[in-house]
Amino acid sequence: MEYKPIRKVVSGNYAAAYAAKHARVEVVAAYPITPQTSIIEKIAEFIANGEVENLQYVPVESEHSAMAACIGASAAGARAFTATSAQGLALMHEMLHWASGARLPIVMVDVNRAMAPPWSVWDDQTDSLAQRDTGWMQFYAENNQEVYDGVLMAFKVAETVNLPAMVVESAFILSHTYDIVEMIPQELVDEFLPPRKPLYTLTDFDNPIAVGALGGPNDYYEFRYKIEKAMDEARKVIKEVGKEFGEMFGRDYSQMIELYRTDDADFVFMGMGSLMGTVKQAVDVLREEGYKVGAAKVRWFRPFPKDELYELAKNVEGIAVLDRNFSFGQEGILFNEAKGVLYNTDAHPIMKNYIVGLGGRDFTVNDVKKIAENMKAIIEKGELDVEVDWYHLKR
């Protein structure tokens, strides 16, 4: 079948809901939280309109139970999906470990929202990045198209390596902003993402299994190692799946870090999610002004694209890491990770951390330009002014 995209103008949240529908999810267990709600409302609408078959919708009483129900469903062999945000994701935290530990390929959309207090419903990556060590893969979407594509790819990767995956989009900047999304006809989605074939399920009564039993010191260690092996395997699978997606639908995701005009760049801006759209636009403006700059968008934060970062870092003089998040007592989380990767290599560009846009603070092309000026000066001087720059701080 020849691929003819179906163009719809949808919000990021609706893009997520359509992707879940097209992935033929079998169980959706979810709890409402702003700004995630329109994802689960849209899925309920699909059911109400008779647009989906064999989809069980479980309106649970908390996010903790949303993840627990998805875990039960996935262990019973179903393709399970949920969505959440900020406080809800934090409430799920315990069960995120359960999902990865039980090796269940659940896919969840997290709408990045700042953690309270003070209450905030706006964009901030600290909620999802605080789940860094739960054994979940994490894909950060730049725009609504990537939300849609990300969910479909996440299922395929997750079900290949038997680990859960999170697709992350920005609160309001994507979740509630409408844009054209090229959707894939159902037949072709089915071709790309066939029904799930679990290795083990709770429905084989002749060969009963016990999942999640006690693991003593003689075994636990190896279980952890196997999760890491799966994460490592995921690096390969992600690239393959991303390439296949590109071949089938024209949008290539074979790079875990998307490089934009970095070939001859003196320095690059590195970051994740919607803010990288702004950065790419700024790169174009800066290039016209004579700056040799590029953008490096980290698509997959877990597994972390170590090799790709090294290849990039080898060829630039500086990296401005833009973190819409913060790890208190240390620095921006992406900055922290990136520096850690490069320590034992021969690639040591000047790296500076810009903390930007926390709690939904606007981040504009002008901001990128100012950061470019600062980076240029640092590189010329050959030394940092400050390592971690709270860029937006009212001084």
Partner 1 sequence: MEIPENVKKRLSIPAEEHFYAGHTACQGCGASLGLRYVLKAYGKKTIFAIPACCSTIIAGPWPYSALNANLFHTAFETTGAVIGGIEAALKAKGYKVKGEDGIMVVGWAGDGGTADIGLQALSGFLERGHDAVYIMYDNEAYMNTGIQRSSSTPYGAWTTNTPGGKMHFLEKRNKKKVIDIVIAHDIPYAATASVAYPEDFIRKLKKAQKIPGPSFIQLFAPCPTGWRSPTDKSIELARLAVQTAYFPLFEYENGKYKINMPSTKKEPKPIEEFLKLQGRFKYMTKEDVEILQQWVLHEWEKLKKLAEVFG
Beta-strand relationship, 80-84 and 107-112? parallel
Does the footprint of partner 1 cover residue 209 (CB under 8 A)? yes
Minimum CB separation of residue 48 from partner 1 in Å reads 17
CB 181 within 8 Å of CB 265:
no
Q: From the list 19, 68, 368, 371, which residue makes contact with partner 1 (rule: CB under 8 A)?
A: 68
For partner 1, the closer of residues 1 and 210 by Cβ is 210
Minimum CB separation of residue 220 from partner 1 in Å reads 9
For partner 1, the closer of residues 204 and 228 by Cβ is 204
122 in helix, strand or coil?
A: coil
For partner 1, the closer of residues 102 and 248 by Cβ is 102
Dist. CA 35–CA 7, nearest whole Å: 24
Site string for partner 1, 163-202 (x = CB under 8 A): ---------------------------------------x
Q: From the list 11, 13, 36, 74, which residue makes contact with partner 1 (rule: CB under 8 A)?
A: 74
* Number of chain residues interacting with partner 1 (CB under 8 A): 44
Name 388's bridge partners. Answer: 353
Q: From the list 194, 212, 250, 340, which residue makes contact with partner 1 (rule: CB under 8 A)?
A: 212
Instruction: Pick out residues in 91-120 that bind partner 1 (CB under 8 A).
Output: 94-95, 98, 102
What type of residue is 111? V
Dist. CA 199–CA 246, nearest whole Å: 28
Question: What DSSP letter does each residue of 273-327 carry, written as one string?
Answer: TTHHHHHHHHHHHHHHTT--EEEEEE-EEES--HHHHHHHHHT-SEEEEEESS--
Q: From the list 19, 27, 151, 378, which residue makes contact with partner 1 (rule: CB under 8 A)?
A: 27
For partner 1, the closer of residues 77 and 277 by Cβ is 77
- Give residue 347's Cα distance to chain centre: 26
> Among residues 262, 313, 307, which one has the least CA distance to residue 283?
262
> Among residues 68, 98, 67, which one has the least CA distance to residue 83?
67
Q: From the list 204, 252, 284, 387, which residue makes contact with partner 1 (rule: CB under 8 A)?
A: 204
Residues lying near partner 1 in the complex (CB under 8 A) are found at: 26-27, 29, 54-56, 58-62, 64-66, 68-78, 80, 94-95, 98, 102, 202-205, 208-216, 219
